[in-house]
Amino acid sequence: MPKSRILPHEWYDTPNIHLCTIADFIQLCRDEGLHVLDTVCMPGQSLVDCLLIAMGFCNLGAERVMVRLCGVTKQRHKKTAECS
């Protein structure tokens, strides 16, 4: 989500609802030293949602997203847990 004079906060640090894109969440994970292993986009109940995801527009069609993460330390970027 873009920052501006009107919206000066990062999406995860707003005083209101936390809206974000999948790319925003993945960047937050990287910033926090986490490695994203997989993402699964789950559509709503409409055919349009399914079609949007099938066409690669996951942010528009996904009602929920599951993300599998692996912890990585920030200092040395070594795995703290076995990623599988």
CB 27 within 8 A of CB 17: no
At residue 84, does pLDDT exceed 60?
no
Tens-place pLDDT, residues 40-60: 999 988 999 999 999 999 888
DSSP labels, 20-40: --HHHHHHHHHHTTEEEEEEE
End-to-end alpha carbon distance in the chain:
30
At residue 83, does pLDDT exceed 60?
no
Q: What is the mean pLDDT of residues 4-23?
A: 77
Domain boundaries, the chain: 11-71
Q: What is the pTM of this model?
A: 0.62
At residue 74, does pLDDT exceed 60?
no
